[in-house]
Amino acid sequence: MFTVNPADGPVLSALYGTEAMRGIMGEAAFLARMLEVEGALARAEARLGIIPAAAAEAISAAAQQPEKLDLAALAVATRNTGYPVVGLVRQLSALAGAEAGRWTHWGATTQDIIDSAIVLQLRAALALIEDDLDRLTRALAAQAEKHRDLVMAGRTHLQHALPVTFGYKCAIWLSPLISMAERLRQLRPRVLKLQFGGAVGTLASLGEQGLAVSEALAEELGLALPDAPWHVARDGMAEAVCFLGLLTGALAKFATDVMLLMQTEVAEVFEPHAPGRGGSSTMPQKRNPIACEYVLAQARGVQALVPQMLGAMAVDQERGTGPWQAEPLALPQAFTLAHGALAQAIAIAEGMTVDAARMRRNLDSTGGLIVAEAVMMGLAPQLGRGPAHDAVHHACDVALAEGVSLAEALSRDPAVTQKLDAAAIARLTDPAGYLGSTQAFIDRVLARLPG
């Protein structure tokens, strides 16, 4: 079969997504999870005496053999009915045997099986993301601690602004990712819920036993029992993908910063390097920010799918005629790309190379102008804020015009030297002395890490 999506092809899938997430969210897993729901339904109904125990045993055993599905026949049936469930139930019934098979899918409807199967996929997918998000936060926390005192230029509008430390920068990358882990834990109860409602959500086909079957099925599958069927209330599915949009947004911020720090003229931080990685077909000197680029590409892919999931919430009446059917085009792809971006981010965070000497050279490249604010604030109590601003502004002009350091330019101004001796000027122009609450912010971010 030809592949259209690069994340699913034999070659480009090495760049997009991960094998682990494809194994969870792929079509084979989806079919297996639908069978799992059908088997659980049979067991639940047998416990309640609705179907024969022998039938439930045969259905459950057959449901554990997804490899026996005739995929070609299932494709034909799906094309005919618009959904895979009818064909799947027919094949499951045949595998269970004629007597047992007639009890398959008892009281359920197509969307019950599809939605509950997707929720089972999401449970595994969110667990995978949670584990790797924890790995990423641990790596960035280690970098923040390791480099908490490594002074570098802070940049606003891509220009030198004030000094920061690289550890502080890592903490700023880390903080929203800790929040993402919190969001993931919070959304689970809203997303990992059984869907079981029958034709219009009333479970009329099961009479007075509908609620009991729901409870037993939720227990069999290990899912939460919702207050009502949610087959036309798609907020849980939409929230899951919105969460991925937020997660990949935070990853994209991290990747953007590292990519900018890798520029030849900056050269302060680098992705981990291996022979040939990030190379050019024509320029042997290149070390391109490949991991950063694929974090950004996959983040944009996920964020483009968020509106599709939000649009799918407008489900008409008691069964959607199009919006719900659009979800399978977005949801598996969003999880695949998000995990691909997360995997690339982990590689960067765990293996990044930090050039402390280059950071210092860049920090010193303006001759101390980066601490002009520090000098102004140090002079203000002596001269008043306005005169202090004017004196430092003049010293900056001299430093730029003559190519001397800010300290040298300040030492030429009698208004300054009357108030500050050479030691005081040196202290005020030391970037390490103007880091504000950097250390406290690093500590506060690290304190949020669980465990």
Q: Give the catalytic positions in this structure.
A: 280, 319
HSE (CB half, 13 Å, CA atoms) of 127?
10
- State the Cα–Cα distance between residues 310 and 363, nearest whole angstrom: 45
The strand pairing partners of 353, in sequence order, are 270
Q: Yes or no: say if 394 and 375 are a contact pair by the CB < 8 Å rule.
A: no
Structure tokens at 382: 């002596």
Torsion of CA 174, 128, 71, 105, to 10 degrees: -120
- State the Cα–Cα distance between residues 122 and 329, nearest whole angstrom: 15
Indicate the DSSP class of residue 270: E
Q: Strands 159-165 and 151-156: what pairing?
A: antiparallel
> What are the φ and ψ backbone dihedral angles of 403, each rounded to 5 degrees?
70, 30
Sign of CA dihedral 49, 51, 55, 58: negative
Angle, vertex CA 196, rays to CA 194 and CA 201, nearest 5: 130
Residue 147, class by beta-carbon neighbours within 10 Å (0-12 exposed, 13-18 middle, 19+ buried)?
A: buried
- CA-to-CA dists, residue 281 to 196, 275, 278, 286, 287, angstroms: 55, 14, 10, 9, 11
Collapse the DSSP code of 321 into the 3-class scheme (helix H, G, I; strand E, B; otherwise coil) and give the result.
Answer: coil
Q: Yes or no: say if 406 and 372 are a contact pair by the CB < 8 Å rule.
A: yes
- State the Cα–Cα distance between residues 223 and 123, nearest whole angstrom: 9
Other CB atoms closer than 10 Å to residue 222's CB: what's the count? 11
Indicate the DSSP class of residue 11: T
Sign of CA dihedral 301, 306, 312, 314: negative
User: How many residues can be counted in the chain?
Assistant: 451
Q: Strands 269-270 and 159-165: what pairing?
A: unpaired
Element (H, E) at 162: strand 159-165
- CA-to-CA dists, residue 270 to 256, 262, 266, 297, angstroms: 12, 5, 10, 19
HSE (CB half, 13 Å, CA atoms) of 174?
29
- State the Cα–Cα distance between residues 149 and 163, nearest whole angstrom: 11
